[in-house]
Chains A and B, each alone.
Chain A
């Protein structure tokens, strides 16, 4: 989910050369479910892949604050206002835990933010869609966070210790996110005709992009194999996507909402829901920068960072002045 546009085995490195003894030992460690910690020996490709995946996950959380954050000032009740604020705040916190985890691999947060702002690093493209109505706030919590949870729970067993521990923290907080979203949608479905229509219209727009969050079909996903060997990826894209559909269809039925897929049908033989074809053209367009809000999201993030520069510099300058004063006092006392 956070590996869009990642090259797990870059051609310049160990894609072609035969594995060294260290790499084989490393994969054996991972196969034993040993946790890898920051100072441990690790293949350079593993380290680089983790930095990319963890930081892209972090970027997704931070960019993800924007579509919902835009509705905080219009939240239609004080309770919803508080809940949405706490939820978006959590997303920021998740971004922070993940940047922290990435930094244990020898990069600075600023480098990672640079990569995001310059377009080198990606973030989950689901956040390039517009939140057009209040119902979207509910839908995002219910569907988008629901999909994220499916992806995140297996990551709690990721081979890299700091990432796994960050994910445990994230998962503890995430189920509130899905519940508050479901609660919003439920209130709409039990509300006025206009509210019910708002909920249905929202689901019509968000269902397919949510399914795309799980990434390309496994058959089209070149590098899943290596990620599995390294214990970074635990379950395949298609399996996660199927699991999500199976869990969510009954929830939609409970709410009285129709999912916008005429091919959606229970398959008793398979024991799963069959569903329709995903429009991968749209997926790649949005991943590659041509979604409804790509430019706007980046503009907002860059602006916040640039506008905040004088604030951060002031804090640094003040801290330096304070440190000088303390030193001067100590010298006088000595």
Chain B
């Protein structure tokens, strides 16, 4: 998260990132952010800002400055090597037809 955006603005309402679970069984998904005077206020406001069209059953809010993000300049080192470990994928393996589904 960018440094300036995670600080309070001059009215003193910090920035919160909002995550919504759209229905039971699914993960919370990041939907955006809002400014609020504290975390409880943020949860209340998130309901009005982000769930007017029945988009959610559960809300998480996190102060922006509590989020630690991976370094995008290291994206290539961190994530490209995952591509050549294809033995982690089930499709790598040939299972004889006689075995049926596995």
Contact = CB atoms under 8 A, between A and B. Distances in A.
A contacts B directly (C-beta below 8 A): yes
A23 interface: no
A115 interface: no
A93 B49 contact: yes
Interface string B12-56: 110100000000000000011111011001000000010011000
Contact of B32 (A37, A110, A166, A173): A166
A38 B11 contact: no
Given A309-B11, A315-B13, A316-B11, A103 B38 contact: no
Contact of B11 (A37, A173, A313, A318): A313
A106 B13 CA distance: 16
Contacts of B57: none
A319 B9 contact: no
B95 interface: no
A96 B2 contact: no
Contact of B1 (A38, A110, A319, A323): A38
Given A103-B33, A312-B13, A40 B5 contact: no
Given A37-B72, A100-B34, A316-B11, A106 B3 contact: yes
Contacts of A169: 31-32
B4 interface: yes
A97 interface: yes
Nearest to A309: B11
Interface in B50-77: 52-53, 69, 71-73
A271 B32 CA distance: 42
A316 B3 contact: no
Interface in A147-202: 166, 169, 173
B41 A315 contact: yes
Given A39-B69, A107-B5, A100 B32 contact: yes
Overall SS of chain B's interface: loop
A105 interface: yes
A204 interface: no
B7 interface: yes
Contact of A110 (B9, B33, B37): B9
A29 B7 CA distance: 30
Nearest to A165: B32
B75 to A, nearest CB: 9
Contacts of B91: none
Greatest chain B CB density within 10 A among A103, A106, A173 is at A103
Nearest to B12: A316
A80 interface: no
B84 interface: no
A298 B3 CA distance: 30
Contacts of A173: 53
Interface in A7-49: 37-41
A108 interface: yes
A97 B31 CA distance: 9
Interface string A75-107: 000000000000001000100110010011111
Contact of B38 (A40, A309, A323): A323
Contacts of A323: 38
Contacts of B37: 312, 315-316, 318-319
A12 to B, nearest CB: 22
A109 interface: yes
A312 to B, nearest CB: 4
A313 B73 CA distance: 39
A222 interface: no
16 contacts: A38-B1, A39-B69, A93-B49, A96-B32, A100-B33, A103-B4, A103-B33, A105-B2, A106-B3, A107-B5, A108-B9, A110-B9, A110-B10, A173-B53, A312-B11, A316-B11
Q: Which 8 A-B pairs have the closest CB atoms?
A: A316-B12, A315-B37, A110-B9, A319-B38, A103-B5, A312-B11, A108-B9, A319-B37
